[in-house]
Structures are given as structure tokens and as C-alpha cells.
Homo-oligomer: A and B are copies of this chain.
């Protein structure tokens, strides 16, 4: 159980460090935001205790930076009751739990255990091709920051293409995987749906992500066109 403590008050940090050690955690302490980002990125922790008031980089910035770097370790934030940021903020910022100072040490341990038990927010599996982003969990597609709505069939086709981005896939393969293995109808459907995708994904952005490979099938440009 590895814990990273980010706390600038040296005495508090030391108290917590000793307590958590006794509770069986392996503890690392850093005293400012920059070190926190560095440590959390380079090392792997089960949970991070993050003070919100920090020199150099506020806890809130640290969290933002970590998430943007795809570090999904659960974070418990320490907030001051009367501080600039309150509890609501802590959650909005993506903290997984928070405690208001002063806090009971037993509670800290309990919360940390709870966080570790339930694990971090799952690492999002997102498919990308240039600025084209598909998030299977949310079933959302966006390009250039703009969300694009998809019908189920369109979405299925796009997901398939993105999972094979860079490869040329034949209409038959597409029909078998996106439609039905036993699909009987006209392969022209695929052409029709490719067109729908192009109208939504390429035309409005003057791009050309979906290429036609004559006689072969289609190919999604990994760079997004």
C-alpha cells in the first residue's frame, strides 16, 4: 500500500507520515506541487493525499495536471474549512474524497483504505485518430472539442474503423462485425453509412479521415485526415 503525501506544513506531514507508516502503509512525502506531479508521474502509488494549499503549484493545479497526464491514482484532498476552495470544489476538481482540516487520524486511515478498496476511476480507454476522439464508455465522439452525435449504427461503424485505424478493412469484414455475421443484404449499406460518417466527421471540419481504397474497402487515417 503506497501512499504519497503532499503537504507543505512539515510538522503535519511528519505526523501523518509516521501514523500511516504504523498503519502499514509505505509512505512518501513531498512538500510542494511540482515535486508532487513529478513523483506521482514517475512512481506508482495506491493513493495520494493532497493538500490544497501548496507552494508553487496548488493542490487543485496538481490534480488537474495529473489527470491530464493520465495519472488516475485516487486522490484524497485536504481542504481548510475556511479556505478559498471548499468541499464542493474538491469534488468538481475530480478529487475522489476529501477531508476538512483538522481531521481525525483514524478517519484518514479509514478513508484511504476505502479509496484503495474501490480503486481509482478506471483508466479511460479512449480511441483517438488525430483530433478525433471516441470514448467507448461514454459512447461519445468528438472532434476538435465538439461533441458529435451518432446513431447506434454510425457509432458501431466508427468504433470498428477506429479499432482498426490505419488498416484497410473490406466491406465484408465491416458487415460481419458491425452488422451481423449472417448479414444477407446489399453491401451498399456500408457505403451509405460511410457517407453518413463523412458528413458528420469530415465535411464540417474540411478533413478527410475516412479514405476509400478502391476495390479493397476503407481505411481510417490514424492522423485523422
- Tell me, yes or no, whether A208 is within 8 Å of chain B by CB: no
Q: In the complex the two chains form, what is the Cα distance from A106 to B118 in whole Å?
A: 10
When the two chains form their complex, are residues A137 and B215 in contact, meaning their CB atoms are under 8 A apart?
no
Copies in the complex: 2
When the two chains form their complex, are residues B88 and A128 in contact, meaning their CB atoms are under 8 A apart?
yes
- Tell me, yes or no, whether A121 is within 8 Å of chain B by CB: yes
Among candidates B67, B113, B121, residue contacting A114 with C-beta atoms closer than 8 Å: B67
Chain A, 77-118, contact with B by CB distance < 8 Å: what is the 0/1 string? 000000000001001101011000001101100110110011
A88-B128, A215-B151 as given contacts; A114 in contact with B94, CB under 8 Å? yes
**Cβ–Cβ < 8 Å partners of A68 in chain B:** 118
- Tell me, yes or no, whether A185 is within 8 Å of chain B by CB: no
**Cβ–Cβ < 8 Å partners of A214 in chain B:** 151-152
When the two chains form their complex, are residues A94 and B110 in contact, meaning their CB atoms are under 8 A apart?
yes
Expressed in whole angstroms, the minimum distance between the Cβ of A108 and any Cβ of chain B is 11
- Tell me, yes or no, whether A199 is within 8 Å of chain B by CB: no
Q: In the complex the two chains form, what is the Cα distance from A41 to B92 in whole Å?
A: 27
Chain A, 200-221, contact with B by CB distance < 8 Å: what is the 0/1 string? 0000000000000111100100
Expressed in whole angstroms, the minimum distance between the Cβ of A71 and any Cβ of chain B is 12
Seed contacts A106-B118, A139-B219, A155-B216; 13 additional CB < 8 Å A-B pairs: A67-B114, A94-B110, A94-B113, A94-B117, A97-B124, A97-B125, A107-B118, A107-B121, A110-B122, A138-B167, A138-B168, A139-B216, A151-B214
A-to-B contact residues, CB < 8 Å:
67-68, 88, 91-92, 94, 96-97, 103-104, 106-107, 110-111, 113-114, 117-118, 121-122, 124-126, 128, 137-140, 151-152, 155, 166-168, 213-216, 219
